[in-house]
Amino acid sequence: MVERYYIKGGIPLKGEVSIGGAKNSVLKLMAAAILAKGESKIYNVPDLTDVEIMLNVIAQLGAKTAYNKEEKSLTIDATDITSITASYELVSKMRASFIVLGALISRCKEARVALPGGCAIGERRVDFHIRGLEALGAKIKIENGYVHAKTNKLIGSDVYLDIPSVGATENIMLASVLAEGSTRIQNAAQEPEIVDLANFLNTMGADISGAGTSEIIINGVKQDQLHPIEYTTIPDRIEAGTFMTAIIATKGKGIIRNIYPAHLTFFTDKLLKMGANIKLLDPTSMEVSCKNRLNSINFVTQPYPGFPTDLQSMAMTLLTTANGVGIITESLYENRFMQVPDLNRMGADIHQDRNHAIIKGVKKLSGAILTASDLRAGASLVVAALMADGNSVVEKLHHIDRGYENFENKIRLLGGKIERKDEDSPKNLTEGTHNESYL
């Protein structure tokens, strides 16, 4: 079965769209839920393939799970954790599932979690995770593709991260919740998802302060001090940024609801400098519009609160038709320009030199047959197709499904011309891109 988007470009997006729960947060909350015995309930959970994979991971550990699609809620009963092993079959499908390592070593004093390996956007090492757990007293062996961690008890310690790794910060936080004494994470990641995890754990009975800053303090508590909870996930800032980009790219005007604007301050500032119009309507809504050709800018991706690497590809799409020349420096991942060949096939003028991309604005993009190489690159190609003249086809939608719930439906709510088709066999796509019968 081949899944494709068929998109007619050049139509301004107008209307309202509501943003779902943050994928990068809810996956970590699911892992955190196994720390407390009993049934926890998480709201604002998007229906994504990554969420489904994490459900399978924690079910493999013995937790009972149930997802309510209508309510967008998830229940996790972690009364009994019967296994300490997260298999390669599941962990290899999604790196974020490696986060169960910290939760398992905290609750069960032992964990066996498959190494996640690399991913499409580049190597993401786990040595920071391992060194952090060893600092707490875990004995770790890496054998047969698994990280095997074991301890009689974890003891709080000072942990300094060479880089503010989100995953390492989260794994160390989870491991420290039930450790004896205090743990201090220095040069910690500051992302909103870190704050959400700390709030979730504190609601559960943990004692964490400093989340959202470079220094996080976790005072260990006893197992019987943790209790199951109900909790609502924060909105997805990357989905919000994607729809902001799509509206601006198509010279449209739209309202984006269920967002936390403060989570997008740096990104919003860059859009304003390019010439977009952004107006805060209320604490969780903003109006986005653009009438004129944008101006080019330069930026460097950085850990939060800097420019988010997950929105770099969206910004690149905007720069393809902006006035002047823009330069993007990708400082976090070595393979994060995978959308460049397809954008150039659409008529963009992008030159890549290692971790720098030089984008000379052209007047317009033209529709083409495009292939999603990873989650964010795939979404940026959909945005490019929406702004381009003519019709486009986007393939390998499973990448996009990892992080965007009902993507095509939300685009249609804004007036975009997009259809999803599951086809048994390839067809003459060159001919199909010039045939509007599918729209």
Measure Cα distances from 79 to 7, 62, 164, 228 in Å.
47, 9, 33, 10
d(CA 354, CA 246): 27
Q: How far apart are the first and last CA of the chain?
A: 20
d(CA 146, CA 85): 9
Tokens of 410: 């939300």
d(CA 172, CA 159): 9
The burial class, CB within 10 Å (0-12 / 13-18 / 19+), for 109 is: middle
Dihedral sign for Cα 20, 382, 120, 213, please. negative
d(CA 100, CA 31): 5
Of 10, 24, 93, nearest in space to 403 by CA: 24
Residue written as token pair 């499908």: 93
Task: Put residue 150 in one of left, alpha, beta given phi > 0 → left and psi -120 to 50 → alpha.
Answer: beta
A 10 A CB-CB count for 180 gives: 13
Residue 126 has, within 13 A of its CA and on its CB side, a CA count of 23
119 catalytic per annotation: yes
Residue 40 has, within 13 A of its CA and on its CB side, a CA count of 27
β-strand partners of 350: 359
> Catalytic pick from 2, 11, 59, 119?
119
Mind telling me the catalytic residues? Answer: 119
